[in-house]
C-alpha cells in the first residue's frame, strides 16, 4: 500500500471525484506522457478517448501504483474506463464544464 497523502486543498476523491498527488510519477514517466499528450501552447486543447488512443497512458493508470493508491483511498479495487484531457487557457470558458442542465423528463 502506498503511504502518500493528497496535496492539501487539491481535491478529495470522495467529495470531488479526484485528488492531486505530487511526486507520484517519476521524471521519466512525466517525460513520456508529455510526448504523447498534446500541448496547447497557449491555445485550448481537448482530447477524448485517451485510454484507447495511448497504450502508455492506459498501462500507467492500470499499474499497481495507481490501483494501490485507489485501493488505499477507497478500500476497493477500481480501474479507470475513460480519460479526457482539458488543457485550457485561463481565458477559456470553463463555466459550462461544471454545469448540468436538467430537462423535464431527463434522468
> DSSP letter string over 60-93?
HHTSHHHHHHHHHHHSS--------EEE--TTS-
Average confidence (pLDDT) over 12-36 = 86
Predicted pLDDT at 3: 47
Summarised one tens digit per residue, pLDDT across range 48-95 is 888 999 999 999 999 999 999 989 988 998 888 888 877 666 666 655
Q: Cα separation of 39 and 87, whole Å?
A: 8
Amino acid at each position: 500500500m502506498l503511504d502518500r497523502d493528497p496535496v492539501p486543498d487539491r481535491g478529495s476523491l470522495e467529495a470531488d471525484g479526484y485528488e492531486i498527488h505530487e511526486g507520484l510519477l517519476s521524471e521519466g514517466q512525466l517525460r513520456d506522457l508529455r510526448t504523447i499528450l498534446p500541448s496547447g501552447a497557449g491555445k485550448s486543447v481537448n482530447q477524448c478517448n485517451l485510454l484507447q488512443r495511448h497504450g502508455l497512458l492506459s498501462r500507467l493508470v492500470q499499474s499497481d501504483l495507481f490501483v494501490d493508491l485507489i485501493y488505499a483511498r477507497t478500500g476497493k479495487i477500481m480501474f479507470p474506463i475513460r480519460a479526457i484531457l482539458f488543457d485550457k487557457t485561463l481565458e477559456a470558458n470553463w463555466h459550462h464544464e461544471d454545469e448540468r442542465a436538467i430537462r423535464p423528463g431527463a434522468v
